[in-house]
Structure 1
Amino acid sequence: MAPPCHPCDPISPVSTDPFLNASLEVILRFGSLMVRTGDAGFRIVAALKALAAKVGLDDLAVNVAVTTITATATRNGEHLTLVREVGPLGINAAQLMELERLAQDDTRAMRPEEIDSALDRIERTAPLHSWVTVSLAIGLTCASFSYLNGGDLPGTLAAIVGGAFGQALRMALSRRHLNQYMMTAICALAAAGMCHLLLLLLAEAGEASHHGIGILASMLFLVPGFPLVAGLLDLLQRQTVAAVVRLTYGATLLAAAAFGLGIVVAFAGYSLPEATVSSASPAVVLILRGGASFIGGVGFALLYNSPWRVACAVGLLTLVGNELRLSLYDAGVTLASATFVGAFTAGLLASLARRLLRQPRIVLSVPSIIIMVPGSYAFQATVLFGRGDVQAGLQAAVVVAFVVGAMALGLATARFVGERQWLFET
């Protein structure tokens, strides 16, 4: 009688083909690194299939679940299935670019050890920007967001300090590998708290803020734009498991950030923001909006570790898309519809720019639309829920959901227009 199977026994024997084993191992390592840099599941599958052809595999079937990757490779009639766990998720545009170039642009045949060496080099690459540069860029980005959402001067100045402090703290905690959800809540609390303290000091000096939007703006850097957009794109490409995991991951990060913000808002007792009318001429408003949009796009691109030339390109995309959105809204178009048009325009321009810059589209498009988050309504929802006014809070939250959905759908529609293969099932 055969002995019972131990739970740790392998389900199937290891392949007798050492080359097949080595090839599939390095392909899964490559895919794991792509997931951790923030790429969408459908792009990961395409890259892994291209890599499999380079190393000489006959076929490759891949299932990306974000937390794990499963792949079955075939060579000379022999099959092998391996599963690899994926480490903590993150965003690194520079690494994402190098990985996609290795898989798609380099057309020569490669051996597994060559790919392994290339991955070693990519993983060892230091960040392109120092923590000081990124923190200052995020501070200016938060200030831009405050201005674009009607924040007054004291609130906008405080958002610079709060955003820079929160981002510096997040980078310090990341190096210690703190749990991402706890880290997000702590950084939201720290950024909003620092912003509030500065507002108190400004009020003592006679420059009181009458608009709480600066508090919300100070934690804009915590918005998980990459996972949310990548999740929607994966849904459209039938990568359902990867999409659900990414969307859940992004929603949980948002909840953690809202928790930290809610503590400060409840403690500080901020009231709902009042609508303000600018006394500046339309030309001046247009210039200021454009400058704020450009700074916001550059800041997010630097946050995602993009090179300066790419960051400047993202700034220009943000300028065009957000100016169009705000102009349509001023003309009476609903906020969700205006946001869809702005995001769609940014997505189309990203399709053109990626050919010139040789960058993945997601690296250009996602940072260019985060500034479109409806900050005033998000702040209203936070204040109202904190007061226990659930009905009014839900009304504001629904507006936020529609506008954020319009942002993602605008980019997705640009994909359908810019990439013909998206129109057909494969």
Structure 2
Amino acid sequence: MTKKEDEQRKRLKPQERLSHHHHMRIRWKEFFTSDNQTAAKDATLSERAVIVGHIGMMFLSYGTGAWRVRTAMNTVARKLNMTCSADIGLVSLEYTCVDRDGKSYTQALSLPSTGVNTTKLHYMSKFVYEFENDDGNWTIGEIHQRLTKISRMKAQYTPWQVGLAAALACGGFTFLLGGGIVEVICAFLGAGVGNYVRRKMIDRRLTIVANIIVAVTVASCVYVGAFYLLRLFIPLSKHLLDGYIGAMLFVIPGFPFITSGLDMSKLDMRSGLERMAYALMIILIATSVGWGVAMILNVHPQDFLPLNLGAVTLTILRLIASFCGVFGFSIMFNSKIQMATAAGLIGAIANTLRLSLVQWINMPAAAAAFIGAFIAGMLASFIHQKIGYPRIAITVPSIVIMVPGLYMYRAMFNFGFISINIGARWAMQAIMIIFCLPLGLIVARILTDKHWRHAG
């Protein structure tokens, strides 16, 4: 749109303005004929229903699962004297509100994309909690003002800060996979630059496929460049190039992976399957790019060189690396420092326990993942009760570090070279762990949340 066209558009009456975006933006206030001083309970059916839909779409856009979206919509609808029935997907929402006279209002809404913003999710949860406590006695103007304030909140962190968070997360991730100081340094640099580029592309609203391909390519190239730069001063084995996989793990779609399992456990199959398909798409793109880099460099995945650390030293370093990894991922999800710190502490305990169970008592990786996720879920429930942070905002970052990105990459690498048996073995190990992670959270939620454990 030219500057002249934009000026002409601004001179139009509100009802004459139409969105020029491919996914046309909804002008929520234009649904209302009642003034801002009208009590929401006294508004028309369509106006009350639009409030419910607006709240549901905001929750959905911040990355939470169908159960939380529906809970928020139901809470608001009850206070506005309506019944709400919603069908929720990854980026779309169809719902019907019915008043006491049997009249109904239905809308079908969709988002242009999906993402995660735990800070906005926290404020939306507070909004619904306060609305319920006030028995819905707010005016239309108050509701508009609060929702507008949340929706217009700027990102907590700049691109370079998000890049630094990814660097911290992937550096910790690489150590936990078995990498040494060289692999950690190179992964730190690669992930930092890669996620910086990714954030800049997201800010320009570039398609997800393009930003993943470019970000993973940049991260891998920076890792390799950093390795050869270090090699000019220190004699290093090319075996250390294998750690480049750690530099691209910032693209792991932890939120949709975990929420897909949670949604399916509550029979929100549409949302669960769409989220799983979205997560798999990202994984396939990222691992395919990693496979391409491996072919160019003639690198074959191998186990990391042994670190030869004592049990106590290794455990302490795992606690630190797990905290750094989870803290970094939380910052990438736009969590506040306090929320990221809480998630980091949970992740440090749960993930270190998981790794210790695998290494010291030879527990199967999937079983250890279940226990680690269960512990994370129980600790998150305790923090939720004491502080009020949304469970999902601290549980998902705390177990993203457990998602087997390395296993997925090795599966894709071997499939690419038609080593089907080896690829299938890695894929099955990854699938078992991915299955057990949300299962651990589900069991913890059933034990600690009386609403969650009931089907109705």
Are the counterparts in 2 of residues 185 and 260 from structure 1 also a CA contact under 8 Å? yes
Deviates more, 1:70-79 or 1:389-398: 70-79
Aligned to 2:107: 82
Aligned-pair distance for 1:129? 2.0
- Partners of 2:405 and 2:64 lie apart in 1 by 26
SS in structure 1 of the partner of residue 358 of structure 2? helix
Kept in 2: contact 1:266–1:383 (CA 8 A)? no
TM-score, normalization: structure 2? 0.86
Q: Distance in 2 between matches of 1:386 and 1:262?
A: 7
- Counterpart of 2:59 in structure 1 is 34
The match for 1:58 is 82
Q: Deviations over 1:342-379 (max 9, x none)?
A: 11111111111112221110000000011113354334
Structure 1 partner of 2:16: none
Match of 2:424 among 394, 416, 422: 394
- Matched AA of 1:380: R
Report the AA paired with residue 319 of structure 2.
Answer: G
1:91 to 113, 116, 126: 116
Change (3 A) 1:408 1:37: same
Residue 44 of structure 2 corresponds to residue 25 of structure 1: no
SS of corresponding position for 2:50:
helix
How many residues align? The count is 412
Tell me if the contact between 1:50 and 1:103 (Cα under 8 Å) persists in the aligned partners: yes
CA distance in 2, matches of 1:76, 1:136: 53
The one-letter code sitting in structure 2 at the alignment partner of 1:297 is V
* Dislocated runs of 4+, deviation >4 Å: 14-18
Contact 2:242 2:300 in 1 (8 A): no
> 2:254 corresponds to which letter in structure 1?
G
User: Which has the higher mean CA deviation after the structures are superposed, 156-165 or 266-275?
Assistant: 266-275
1:120 corresponds to which residue?
A: 148
Contact kept in structure 1, 2:224 and 2:241, CA below 8 Å: no
Following the alignment from structure 2 to structure 1, what is the Cα–Cα distance between the partners of residues 304 and 184? 16
Mapping 1:105-144, distance limit 5 Å: 105-106=130-131, 107-108=133-134, 109=136, 110-144=138-172
1:83-133 deviation line (CA, Å, top 9, x unaligned): 222231100001111111111343212233322221111111111222222
| Structure 2 runs not aligned, ≥5 long | 1-30, 34-41
**Distance (whole Å) between structure 2 residues aligned to residue 31 and residue 182 of structure 1:** 29
CA shift in 2, pair 1:63/1:112, >3 Å: farther
Structure 1 equivalent of residue 201 of structure 2: 173
- Supply the AA of the counterpart residue of 1:232: G
Q: Is the 8 A contact 1:227 1:247 kept in 2?
A: yes
Map Cα deviations across residues 51-100 of structure 1 (whole Å, 9 max, x no partner): 1223x233222221233212211234122112222231100001111111
User: Within 1, Cα distance between the matches of 2:144 and 2:59?
Assistant: 14
Q: Distance in 2 between matches of 1:300 and 1:139?
A: 10
- 240-249 or 40-49, which moves further after superposition? 240-249
Q: CA deviation at 1:174?
A: 0.5
- Whichever residue aligns with residue 215 of structure 1, its letter is Y
Equivalent-residue separation in structure 1 for 2:413 and 2:144 (angstroms): 51
Range that drifts further, 250-259 or 61-70: 61-70
Among 309, 314, 317, the residue aligned to 2:343: 314
Instruction: Give TM-score, length-normalised by structure 1.
Output: 0.92
After superposition, the CA RMSD in angstroms is: 2.0
Contact 1:151 1:212 in 2 (8 A): no
One-letter amino acid of the structure 2 residue matched with residue 218 of structure 1: A
* Of 329, 336, 347, the match for 1:300: 329
In structure 2, what is the Cα distance between the partners aligned to 1:72 and 1:392?
49
Amino acid at match of 1:21: S
Distance 1:140 1:127 in 2: 19
Matched, 1:152 2:180: yes
Summarize the Cα distance change of 1:348–1:242 in structure 2 as closer, same or farther, 3 Å threshold: same
CA 1:394/1:115 → structure 2, altered by over 3 Å: closer, same or farther?
same
Aligned partners of 1:185 and 1:259 also within 8 Å: no
Instruction: Give the conservation status (yes or no) of the 8 Å contact 2:351–2:372.
Output: yes
Alpha-carbon spacing, 1:80–1:147, altered in 2? closer, same or farther (3 Å): same
Where does 1:241-260 land on structure 2 (aligned, <5 Å)? 241-260=270-289
